[in-house]
Amino acid sequence: MFAKFEQEPIAAASLGQVHQARSASGERLAVKILYPNVVTIINVDLRVLGWALRVYRNFVPLQQIERVHEHLADMLARETDLVNEARCIARMAKNFEGDSDVLFPVVFPELSSSTVMTMTFMDGVKITNKDALAGLALDPYDVATKLIKVFYKQLFVDRFFHADPHPGNFFVQRGADGQVRIVVLDLGSATELRDNLADGMFDILSGLMTRKDDLVVRGIDTMGFMAAGGDRALLERTVRRYFEKLLSIHITDFGKIDPAVAQQLADPHMKREDLRELMKSVAYPEGWFYVERAAVIMFGLSSTLAPRLNGIHVGFPYVTQFIMERNTRRLAEQTARKAAEAAKQAAAEPAPKVAEEPEALLN
């Protein structure tokens, strides 16, 4: 199968490890192998987590909190199926085929299975290794900017994103013209973005950019954060109040936010019963777990590389493209809906009677 296979792994993680190998033709390969019984171990851990969440809900009455457990179980099931990961790699590589500076390994299906995946070996330096980046004469701010652009494209343009973007899943290369090239790895958790989450996030980002709290409130509602039967007025008041505070805060270093700055967002005057009622009014939207996790990891990684980089501003061109695509889609839907209504109305109206022709006069 392999002309050469290194017994010592070159990388190891919680679910498996990667070995270097050579094909019969001498091509350098990476072979990812899941640990034996890893699925059984995960299922035991998930049962314990499910019990802990049920206890947690007695103290924190957040609606649909059990979705965290469901989504985590789903993500781990997909991450432990390497056939699924191979499909995700192929799909995302196609999404970026127009950008030669975003690279993905090529999987060899004939040398792969659900527990073993053989792919091309991808060179590069770890994205957080600033000394190695300096050795390539690459600015960490340029690396962070490229990475954030990749993430925004995945999220708003392709609607298919890397849900586990930790530092070990990205390598960096220097291109022929000195540009940053990002190598994307470990795509077993790649996830489709639900339309309501995309629309809601767009409204929130638009609200932040234009300083309009009504857009932020609408975005939160569209995403599904407002629980059925909750105190909608209380939630809206809270969102508007925190939005006003957020706009008054000036953050220059996203990698080291002063505790005093964060304290400005606190509301020491909120009563405990109001807080509990507020939490009952907040739901945990379907699919939000993947987006939340990815965004927190991604922007944490970005702030490590470039503390003063504003990720929202970097993503503005992709948000603009999303606006155009969404408006085009909504216009098409509106046109189709009006045409259907007109056709339905026409079908319901009685056909006009045809006037009878007078009999021919007898000669």
Amino acid at 152: Y
Say what the pLDDT of residue 239 is: 74
Say what the pLDDT of residue 44 is: 66
- Total-model pTM: 0.76
Say what the pLDDT of residue 363 is: 46
**Domain range summary for the chain, segments of one domain joined by +:** 4-192
User: CB–CB of 160/65 below 8 Å?
Assistant: no
DSSP secondary structure letter of residue 156: I
Q: What is the pLDDT of residues 50-99, one digit of tens each?
A: 666 666 666 665 556 677 778 888 888 899 899 999 999 999 999 999 99
Helix (H, G, I), strand (E, B) or coil at 361: coil
Of the ranges 44-53, 216-225, 280-289, which is most confident?
216-225
Catalytic residue among 164, 186, 203, 213: 164
Give CA–CA dist 320/72, Å, rounded.
31
Say what the pLDDT of residue 356 is: 55
Question: DSSP letter string over 206-253?
Answer: HHHHHT-HHHHHHHHHHHT-B-TTS-HHHHHHHHHHHHHHHHH---S-
Say what the pLDDT of residue 270 is: 55
Asked if 195 is an active-site residue, the reply is no
How does residue 362 score in pLDDT terms, banded at 50, 70 and 90? very low
- Of 283 and 64, which is predicted with more confidence? 283
Say what the pLDDT of residue 254 is: 47
- Of 266 and 95, which is predicted with more confidence? 95
Q: What is the pLDDT of residues 99-154, one digit of tens each?
A: 999 999 999 999 999 999 999 999 999 999 999 999 999 999 999 999 999 999 99
84 exposed, middle or buried (CB, 10 Å; 0-12, 13-18, 19+)?
middle
pLDDT tops 70 at residue 294: yes
DSSP secondary structure letter of residue 281: T
Helix (H, G, I), strand (E, B) or coil at 105: coil
User: Which of 246, 257, 149 has the alpha carbon at shortest distance from 207?
Assistant: 246
Amino acid at 329: R
User: CB–CB of 242/265 below 8 Å?
Assistant: yes
User: CB–CB of 32/83 below 8 Å?
Assistant: no
What residues contact 294, with CB distance under 8 A and at least 6 apart?
A: 151, 161, 162, 163, 164, 165, 191
User: CB–CB of 253/308 below 8 Å?
Assistant: yes
Say what the pLDDT of residue 145 is: 95
Give CA–CA dist 333/173, Å, rounded.
43
User: Which of 92, 91, 259, 290 has the alpha carbon at shortest distance from 189?
Assistant: 290
pLDDT tops 90 at residue 156: no
Is the dihedral angle over the CA atoms 92, 95, 101, 107 positive or is it negative? positive
How does residue 340 score in pLDDT terms, banded at 50, 70 and 90? confident
User: CB–CB of 30/45 below 8 Å?
Assistant: no
pLDDT tops 50 at residue 253: no
Give CA–CA dist 186/190, Å, rounded.
9
